Amino acid sequence: MRIRTIKPEFWTSPDISSLPIEDRLLFIGLWSYVDDNGVGRGEEQLIQASLFPLDEFTESFRRIHEGLMRLSERKLVTLYSVENRPYLFINAWEKHQKIGHPTKPRFPRPDNEKAVPHEDYMSPHENYTLGTGEQGNRGTELLPPVGPPTETDDEHTTNAPSASRKRSAKTTGTRLPENWTPSPDLEAWTANNCPLVPRAELDKFRDYWTSVAGARGRKADWDATWRNWARRTQEDLERKTAPNQTQVLTEMRNRAHAATIQQQGNALRLIETGETP
């Protein structure tokens, strides 16, 4: 764990204020959790042990897992794996933290040639299932998968191929086809579900995924990838068009100031003339 700083504008950022409060806390905690290069191990158990060691395991584990998914969807973190080990990276890390003398990188970044994006990789800890605890129906607990990984902190190998690695090999996907366009059905879905998304967003989508190299640039379902892209764009545009907290507070202060001036003027008139407005 490391000492980090939080800029004042963090609290008024539209991207941050749109998150649930517990996700904001998780996001800040991850800054201390990752190394000086913005990368940390992606196991939920390690995150809980570092950030929420006194919380009840089952509930805290679930909150962390769901929070990571939401932070990933908002493009605040990148979830990926390298040689079957999960990692997370704080996007725009250099914007959030200014590290004067960063330590030597401990973990690979998501631009590593062996990196596998989250959608093509199932973390071993995503295999956890809810089971009945020792008290029968009175409680549940998270049951770990059979055969825990045998890898060590300094080695990125396992004694046997894991299910997640087999899954990754089967779902490597394909590159975005040249001049890819949504089908009529997909265009209709976009118009109905993401009406704020402009037509020009399609060019951004093509340019972005054409420029992404390696495994991260391959998808098993490009229609689904576009739907996720359109949803995020719709959410971003909705946040930008809605008044943010700073605007609301400024308007409230201006109204209060105007009301105070009017009250003072009424009081002076009453003193001078004895008349009320």
Q: What is the pLDDT of residues 218-254, one digit of tens each?
A: 888 899 999 998 998 888 787 777 666 666 667 777 8
Determine the 3-state secondary structure of 87 from DSSP: strand
Instruction: Report d(CA 180, CA 216) in Å as an integer.
Output: 18
- Tokens representing 233 are 């764009």
Question: Could you tell me which of 122, 142, 123 has the C-alpha nearest to residue 131?
Answer: 142
- Lowest-confidence pick of 43-47, 120-124, 250-254, 263-267: 120-124
Residue 26 has pLDDT above 90, yes or no: yes
How far is the first Cα of the chain from the last one, in angstroms, to the nearest whole number?
A: 63
Q: How far does CA 262 lie from the centroid of its chain?
A: 47
What is residue 247's predicted lDDT score, i.e. its pLDDT? Answer: 67
pLDDT band at 12 (very low <50, low <70, confident <90, very high): confident
**Per-position b or e across 47-59, b if 16+ CB within 10 A of its CB:** bbeebbeeeeeee
Residue whose token pair is 């409060």: 21
Q: How many CB atoms lie within 10 A of CB 143?
A: 13
Instruction: Look at 156 and 27; give whichever has higher pLDDT.
Output: 27
- Tokens representing 161 are 């191929």
Residue whose token pair is 């908002």: 74
The answer to whether 70 and 16 are in contact (CB under 8 A) is no
- Detail the DSSP E strand segments found in 96-241: 115-117, 129-133, 136-143
- Tokens representing 167 are 């899954």
| Cα-based torsion angle of the residue sequence 246, 250, 252, 257 in order, rounded to the nearest 10 degrees | 160
- Detail the DSSP E strand segments found in the chain: 39-41, 77-82, 85-90, 115-117, 129-133, 136-143
Determine the 3-state secondary structure of 182 from DSSP: coil
What is residue 130's predicted lDDT score, i.e. its pLDDT? Answer: 40
Instruction: Report d(CA 26, CA 48) in Å as an integer.
Output: 10
pLDDT tens for 104-117 read 888 999 888 888 88
Instruction: Look at 123 and 111; give whichever has higher pLDDT.
Output: 111
- Lowest-confidence pick of 9-18, 163-172, 195-204: 163-172
- Tokens representing 157 are 């190998």
- Average pLDDT score over residue span 81-99: 87
Burial, 248: exposed, middle or buried (Cβ in 10 Å; 0-12, 13-18, 19+)?
A: exposed
Supply the mean pLDDT for the chain: 76
What is residue 159's predicted lDDT score, i.e. its pLDDT? Answer: 45
Determine the 3-state secondary structure of 102 from DSSP: coil
This prediction's pTM = 0.44
What is residue 116's predicted lDDT score, i.e. its pLDDT? Answer: 87
**Helices and strands (DSSP H and E) totals, the chain:** 10, 6
Annotated domain spans of the chain: 8-171, 243-277
pLDDT tens for 127-169 read 444 444 443 343 444 444 433 443 434 434 444 444 444 444 4
